[in-house]
């Protein structure tokens, strides 16, 4: 019951519709007709997002997976990366990533060594790497007490920045550097895990 009215659709059906949108990337308005009306599905998605319910469910499932794999709930090592993606959305929350020449949004992600997301933030693509990383660390602050080190590529480099991260958040931000003298794309140690998560 909600507001004294009997619910027409089960919450499982609503959740399945949300999964469909997130998996396929289809627009809300193009949700297939065998699901409830897109407005209703979107209402629940927004409500649960604002209430923090979706984040709580993600965290609970994450912890269960870690326990099942006989790992500590809190990881000790994280992997940081960002990715700029084009968006056709009319939202003002987008910008131009001049380095990648992409007009859209930028995703900042920290994963554990398995590839499970432990930190995520989406911003306009014009947000610089170090600025976005620091904002993400603020959101993650205190959630993973065993976190000792986060590996990142050279785009996040800067002595003053890494020193500030260590002092503020209590973990080392280690920059994984490319091998000198080797041209072209290089697979950086451990960084392929977060790249796979983006994929």
CA atoms within 13 A on the CB side of 15: 6
Q: How many CB atoms lie within 10 A of CB 132?
A: 21
The structural domains of the chain, ordered by start, are 11-51 (no CATH), 72-198 (3.30.420)
Residue 30 vs residue 93, higher pLDDT: 30
- HSE value, Cβ hemisphere, 13 Å, CA-based, for 45: 18
| 3-state secondary structure labels for all residues of 154-173 | HHHCCHHHHHHHHHHHCCEE
| Whole-number Å distance between alpha carbons of 180 and 91 | 41
Question: Using one digit for the tens of pLDDT, what is the confidence trace for 60-87?
Answer: 999 999 999 999 999 999 999 999 988 7
Angle of helix 129-140 versus helix 159-169 axis, rounded to 10: 10
Token pair of 117, please? 């997301």
- The per-residue pLDDT of the chain, averaged, comes to 88
What lies within 8 Å, CB to CB, of 21 at 6+ separation is 28, 31, 41, 45
d(CA 113, CA 118): 10
How confident is the model at residue 75, as a pLDDT?
95
What would the two tokens of residue 17 be? 């519709």
**Burial of 75 per CB tally in 10 Å (0-12, 13-18, 19+):** buried
- Is there a contact between 171 and 150 (Cβ–Cβ < 8 Å)? yes
pLDDT at 4 over 90: no
Tokens (6 digits) for 12: 């499982």
- Tell me the β-bridge partners of 172: 149
Q: What is the pLDDT of residues 136-173, one digit of tens each?
A: 999 999 999 999 999 999 889 999 999 999 999 999 99
């Amino acid at each position: 019951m909600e507001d004294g009215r009997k619910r027409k659709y089960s919450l499982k059906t609503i959740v399945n519709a949300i999964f469909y949108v997130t998996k396929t990337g289809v627009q809300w308005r193009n949700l297939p007709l065998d699901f409830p009306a897109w407005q209703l599905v979107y209402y629940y998605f927004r409500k649960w997002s604002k209430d923090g319910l979706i984040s709580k469910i993600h965290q609970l499932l994450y912890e269960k997976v870690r326990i099942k794999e006989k790992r500590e709930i809190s990881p000790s090592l994280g992997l940081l990366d960002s990715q700029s993606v084009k968006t056709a959305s009319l939202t003002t929350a987008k910008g131009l990533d001049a380095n990648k020449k992409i007009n859209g949004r930028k995703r900042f992600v920290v994963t554990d060594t398995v590839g499970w997301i432990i930190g995520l933030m989406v911003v306009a693509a014009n947000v610089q790497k170090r600025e976005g990383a620091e904002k993400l660390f603020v959101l993650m602050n205190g959630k993973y007490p065993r976190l000792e080190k986060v590996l990142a590529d050279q785009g996040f480099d800067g002595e003053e920045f890494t020193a500030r991260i260590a002092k503020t958040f209590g973990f080392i931000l280690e920059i994984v550097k490319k091998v000198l003298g080797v041209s072209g794309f290089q697979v950086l140690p451990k960084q392929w895990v977060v790249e796979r998560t983006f994929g």
